[in-house]
Structure 1
């Protein structure tokens, strides 16, 4: 039902193409404040603005200001998603979120709590097992500023990614391809490959794409099995928020005033793919038990059939055959 309900709105292929372009442009417009801020800072330091590389963009400003301006582009992108869905497709935003009559916030909070508790436990165990790998860098004022920025902006960032990939593109590709496996595969692969620009790729190598693409599949499976994005919205927000507040490293995309700093030399081995091979299957089984998921084959690989409208002569009513 989650994908099929897109048949009830304007769903021609060109609308999804135009919509994706609008959303992309909106997110790029959102990067302008960060670029202008970096240029202004370099000019004030009497430095050239014509040789700014990616590393300078991330290090020229304070970490909290950089984080806010980075996340601003996602917030503008999320606004673009809303406007495209509402006015180009004439679709209610709740039907992009879920097949239920209204958003199930209990599911959102469950997904959030699941990854938050897991991250706290795993990080705590690693900290006490390998204290030499961490530096306690807690500084109250910068941390409080970080907390305000992160609590407000990170859910907007993760919601943009979820509404774009598990929502807009999942439904759009699904109604065009009329199946469920193709949108699952395409959105997961695109989601993962868009992280190629992250500094973690330079540190770990291409093997980390297993994690990024695997995470895309995990969130996509979660969405299709639960017939809605609520669990994915909560999980993604919890993952990024607790990571930004709890631990940072010089090689991460979010360099924050977090509680801990990881100074270890990470290895691009089993640690990178452990979440995909072990944790994600456990999470899916736990959700399947809690929410009584059934028919995995049909939910993940079944057809998406357009309702057939039969109009009888002299009858103002139409019968919809599912």
Structure 2
């Protein structure tokens, strides 16, 4: 069982707190180049950005994306070191309960969400003509494609390993049940997005979407006994969006194929994914992988 793989009397919860601090510290080292570039740009223009959005717009979008992703590369390295040397676990143990990573699950989840993202983008543009404008520039897009396909999967995988792998097992050590790790990792995952530019545009209601996404990914992980489906979904969500559509008010702005000229659509953009789309995806995954014992896997107690 996936979540039980981290249960160990030597894995006290304080180790996960300290381990998280170490991971954040290592990831922060990866932010040094971005900080230096921001400072240099501020000195050149004699203008200090007042928020994250202004700071990102002050740089070339490919450069800012590359620099932003560096911290996740460092963070993933920090995670590997903490898991191996601090918790005496292998990376596989916080990845899946299977004997090896099931890449077919990763690719199925990635493909499913990629298809949905592309179709929904076409439908939204059809229903609201002119909302998307052609933004394709060959050289910038080629650079974006290289940067995004290499670094965004590292970014999304780092988040999945930290929240649905490392911390999920960590909270299981603390609570010895499954509902508490699911709830806590979802709340923390959602709160980590509180500084995103979307919050300024939509308001704190957008955190319902992020917490709901964390809950959805957590359910995927617990029901499927591994991170594979969550890894595929998260990678597709961030990568395809970065390549397909950008806007002036999102956290990641790119040289994508299209640019969204509209303002955030409102509450329906939050509630439809959380309460309609994500449950529909769970239905699809449930049918494909024949999940059983939902109550036990999501809320059951853990025996040492």
1:152-191 mapped onto 2 (5 Å cutoff): 152-191=150-189
Q: Secondary structure at the match of 1:197?
A: coil
Counterpart in the other structure of 2:32 = 32
1:235-294 CA-partner distances (Å, limit 9, x unpaired)? 000000000000011110111000000001222221221011111001001001101100
Counterpart in the other structure of 1:12 = 12
* Correspondent of 1:292 among 281, 290, 293: 290
1:37-95 CA-partner distances (Å, limit 9, x unpaired)? 1112333x25266x764334212210000001011111111111111001101101001
* Correspondent of 1:98 among 91, 96, 99: 96
TM-score scaled by length of structure 2 = 0.97
| Cα distance in 1, alignment partners of residues 148 and 18 from structure 2 | 31
Q: Secondary structure at the match of 1:21?
A: helix
| Cα distance in 2, alignment partners of residues 145 and 217 from structure 1 | 34
Q: What displacement does 1:135 show? A: 1.1
1:156-212 CA-partner distances (Å, limit 9, x unpaired)? 100111000000000011122100000000000010011010001111111111111
Q: What displacement does 1:140 show? A: 0.7
Would the aligned equivalents of 1:249 and 1:255 in 2 still touch at CA under 8 Å?
yes
Show structure 2 runs of 5+ residues with no match. none
| Cα distance in 1, alignment partners of residues 51 and 205 from structure 2 | 25
TM-score scaled by length of structure 1 = 0.91
| Cα distance in 2, alignment partners of residues 52 and 188 from structure 1 | 29
Counterpart in the other structure of 1:139 = 137
| Cα distance in 1, alignment partners of residues 206 and 45 from structure 2 | 38
Counterpart in the other structure of 1:240 = 238
The alignment status of 1:47 with 2:46, answered yes or no, reads: yes
Counterpart in the other structure of 2:303 = 305
Q: Secondary structure at the match of 2:193?
A: helix
Would the aligned equivalents of 1:205 and 1:268 in 2 still touch at CA under 8 Å?
no
Counterpart in the other structure of 1:73 = 71
Would the aligned equivalents of 1:134 and 1:261 in 2 still touch at CA under 8 Å?
yes
Would the aligned equivalents of 1:107 and 1:231 in 2 still touch at CA under 8 Å?
yes
Q: What RMSD in Å do the two structures reach over aligned CA positions?
A: 1.4
Could you list the structure 1 runs, at least 4 aligned residues long, displaced by more than 4 angstroms after superposition. Answer: none
Q: Which has the higher contact order (CA 8 A, sep 6+)?
A: 2
Q: Secondary structure at the match of 1:261?
A: strand
Q: What displacement does 1:10 show? A: 4.2
* Greater Cα shift, 127-136 or 247-256: 127-136
